[in-house]
Amino acid sequence: MNHDIAIIGAGLSGLYAARLLQQTGADYVVLEAAPRAGGRILSLGADGARGPCDMGPSWYWPASQPRMPALVRELGLRAFPQANTGALMWEESATECIRYEGGAPADGSMRIHGGTAALIDSLAAEIPAERVLRGHRVTALRQMPQGISVEASAGAGPDITCEARIVICTLPPRLLTQSVEFDPPLPDDVRSIWTSVPTWMAGNAKFVAIYEHAFWRDAGLSGEGRSRVGPLVEIHDACDEHGLAALTAFIGTPPQARLGALDHLRDAAIAQLVRLFGDAAQHPVACLTKDWAVDPLVATADDMQPLYAHPQYGRHASPPGEWAGRLILGGTESAPTYGGYMEGALEAAEMAVAAAAAAGLHQQRAEGVEAARQRHAGDQRGT
């Protein structure tokens, strides 16, 4: 296969980049390691299949993030504000829960009907199916005279190689350096810098409890909870306007301590919800858990160290030397303003597509100059 542009990763960044290229009529292909699109965007139902419960990113903030609301409108999706009416529960200790009637502060965050994966579904619907190769994990990038050879493993199927003039990689830099072979190798300083960039969400785990009805609202509670005890450290109302009644939470137990302990954490999480919201929390219809730290297509061993603050993204070096202009980083960790957010995924994709266009034009000019030089040399020999 030969294409002008190969995109690695069919998460939000990769699909948005593909959409931008599709709109311009560019020749491209998307290689995705997983059997599904979405990357760290994952929305499930009570049965574990596609549903409305966000196990990855869930919120965006229109007041400060312009791309997300614009894309939601363009795709014809519906959004609604995060519920925060009612009291907030604060767990100071296992025996002390404090009810704050002021409730959670309104921060202007929005959610998408049907779960954030509705973004992925809608973007994928705009891209021809043959352009997205799922289940193809990129294993090597090799320099060729006119571009890059992209090698991908298809698991039980045959491996493939495609040649592209330019590669847009939306993988987190840390995962890229540790899962893909480079020929020629990346310089040691660049590899070190990219490995040091934390992968957003990679150390996180989320827990969702689904109920028959939102009993906490009946008690004048917002569903917001914070805890110094755990295992849940931050809890939110996850209901929607289609009848879903759920609480979603971030698990505060460090990644290493979670290994092999999810069943125990589930029981502890339900016991904590009972302490915070009452006995009705004892009997969820279903519980969902997603530990991103053990997902090999997201996290590496370096991500076992939890993040306690939002990293400064977009400051790592671009590919130098022989890779400059041919390999472009386009994932949310590469966004200079909104890195780590869904807005950052869109920002990075826009920048990557613009850089690919600029690099493509430069290459075409260079090839045109070389062809003209050779024609001139031939004319000179002819005379």
pLDDT in tens, 120-148: 999 999 999 999 999 999 999 999 988 99
pLDDT of 42: 98
SS3 100: strand
Report the relative pairing of strands 245-251 and 232-237 from DSSP bridges: antiparallel
Average pLDDT per run of 10 along the chain, which is 383 residues long? 95 98 96 98 96 97 98 98 94 94 84 97 97 97 94 89 96 96 93 93 95 97 96 96 94 92 93 97 97 96 83 81 91 96 98 91 53 51 49
Peptide bond into 184 cis (omega under 30): yes
DSSP string, 210-249: EESS-HHHHTTEEEEEEESS-SEEEEEE---TTS-EEEEE
Contacts of residue 272, defined as CB under 8 A and 6 or more positions apart, other chains included, come to 91, 227, 229, 230, 231, 232
Contact 339, 314 (CB under 8 A): yes
What helix, strand, coil percent values describe the chain, rounded to 5? 35, 25, 40
pLDDT of 372: 46
Per-residue tokens: 381:
């020999």
Angle at 348 between CA 295 and CA 12, to 5 degrees: 45
Identify the H or E element spanning 88.
strand 87-93
pLDDT of 172: 96
Residue showing tokens 């002021």: 102
Give how far Cα 110 sits from Cα of 81, 105, 171, 244, Å.
4, 14, 26, 16
Strand partners, 29: 6
First to last CA, the chain: 41
Per-residue tokens: 242:
């289609």
pLDDT in tens, 175-201: 999 999 999 999 898 999 999 999 999
Contacts of residue 297, defined as CB under 8 A and 6 or more positions apart, other chains included, come to 33, 34, 39, 137, 175
* Cα distance between residue 181 and residue 185, in whole Å: 8
* Cα distance between residue 269 and residue 271, in whole Å: 5
Contact 58, 341 (CB under 8 A): no
DSSP string, 322-374: GGTTTEEE-SGGG-TTTTTSHHHHHHHHHHHHHHHHHHHHHHHHHHHHHHHHH
291: closest CA among 282, 309, 274, 303? 303
pLDDT of 250: 96
